[in-house]
Structure 1
Amino acid sequence: MARWIESWLPGSPAGNGDVPGHPGEQFGLPATGHYSVAGVGRRIGGICIDWLLAYLLVVLVAGTEAIGTPELSWWVLGAWYAVTVLMVAVLGASPGHLALGMRVARTDMARHVGVPRALLRTAMIAVVIPVIFIDADGRGWQDRASTTIVVRVLRA
């Protein structure tokens, strides 16, 4: 049986309570290989790469004297947010996703994530709390609210 909170989240399978055979099965995704659901470890690695990239960008622009200042963390957060939203909206993947063979896909399998979904999804990741609540499909609240899922992509 679905929990009460799932009933208001877009894209939630509220109602039947059936557990899928593998993550992403309800969206027609395979269990392994290309377009299978990306694992939590890979996703954490991707966000770490994104965060380090944002940190490097801020230090390159502001200089090394910015290290240790109270404003640095806000500038890093802003750079991470801007880079992530832009890349996910346009390419469907952040730099960390690209480096680790992942992309953000819409659950209706439309071609582009788009700016509104990327803005919402990234803002919810910045809050961190929605990220730690993952469902059987490996989707956090940020993915459920933006009707997206992070999948693996294999390079040719």
Structure 2
Amino acid sequence: MDNRDAMGSWLSGPREALENAGADLGYRGEQLGLPEHGPGSIARPGRRIGALFVDWALCMLIAYGLVTRGYSQATGNWALLIFFVLGVLTVGTVGFTPGKRLFGLRVVSQSGGRPGTGRVVLRTFLLCLAVPALIWDRDGRGLHDRLAKSVEVRV
């Protein structure tokens, strides 16, 4: 292995390095019984980040306009609280937030159907902490989804 191969494996991530070494990891969501492409498949990171950005911007706008009536140091804290309430209410009832709906995503239970209220609260709380959402498994699910036994899929 020369330096370019080592650098390429570092840049492309451990999954590609394992696949180049001959490991068959399958496609994302295969272990969960989900399709590889189309509706019901695991949501890709770009869509998930886009949905998160839309939801956060909406919460900042609500905090800026309705709660703090202008920008202050408390605006971000209020936005985080609004983000938590928005996530629990919308994912717990219809399975998606406004951002997820815009990007064609839905949160479902790992066993299918809507996740329970306790799991939605846990998932949203861990998402607000940010770090669990940055740790992904081989299926592309964040630690917050794994612990809440939920999956973010395309609709």
> Shared fold (TM-score greater than 0.5)?
yes
* Residue-by-residue CA offset, 1:120-151 (whole Å, 9 max, x unaligned): 00111111111111111111110110001110
Normalised to the residue count of structure 2, the TM-score between the two structures is: 0.81
1:98 equivalent in structure 2: 101
Q: Is the Cα contact below 8 Å between 1:20 and 1:26 reproduced in 2?
A: no
* Residue-by-residue CA offset, 1:84-141 (whole Å, 9 max, x unaligned): 11101101111111010000111111x2212111110011111111111111111111
Q: Counterpart of 1:125 in structure 2: which amino acid?
A: L
1:87 equivalent in structure 2: 90
Q: Which runs of 5+ in 2 are unaligned?
A: 1-22
Q: Is the Cα contact below 8 Å between 2:136 and 2:143 reproduced in 1?
A: yes
Q: Counterpart of 1:55 in structure 2: which amino acid?
A: M
Q: How many residues align?
A: 133
1:21 correspondence with 2:26: yes
Q: Is the Cα contact below 8 Å between 2:68 and 2:74 reproduced in 1?
A: no
Q: Is the Cα contact below 8 Å between 2:67 and 2:78 reproduced in 1?
A: no
Question: 3-state DSSP class of the match of 1:104?
Answer: strand
Deviation at 1:20, TM superposition (A): 4.3
Higher relative contact order structure (alpha carbons within 8 Å, sequence separation ≥ 6)? 1
Q: Is the Cα contact below 8 Å between 1:58 and 1:75 reproduced in 2?
A: yes
Deviation at 1:80, TM superposition (A): 0.7
Normalised to the residue count of structure 1, the TM-score between the two structures is: 0.80
1:60 correspondence with 2:65: yes
Q: Is the Cα contact below 8 Å between 2:141 and 2:151 reproduced in 1?
A: yes
Hey, which bits of structure 1, 4+ residues long, moved more than 3 A? none
Higher normalized helix content (fraction of residues): 2
Q: Is the Cα contact below 8 Å between 1:90 and 1:114 reproduced in 2?
A: no
Q: Is the Cα contact below 8 Å between 2:29 and 2:139 reproduced in 1?
A: yes
Question: 3-state DSSP class of the match of 1:137?
Answer: coil
Q: Is the Cα contact below 8 Å between 1:19 and 1:136 reproduced in 2?
A: no
Q: Which runs of 5+ in 1 are unaligned?
A: 1-17
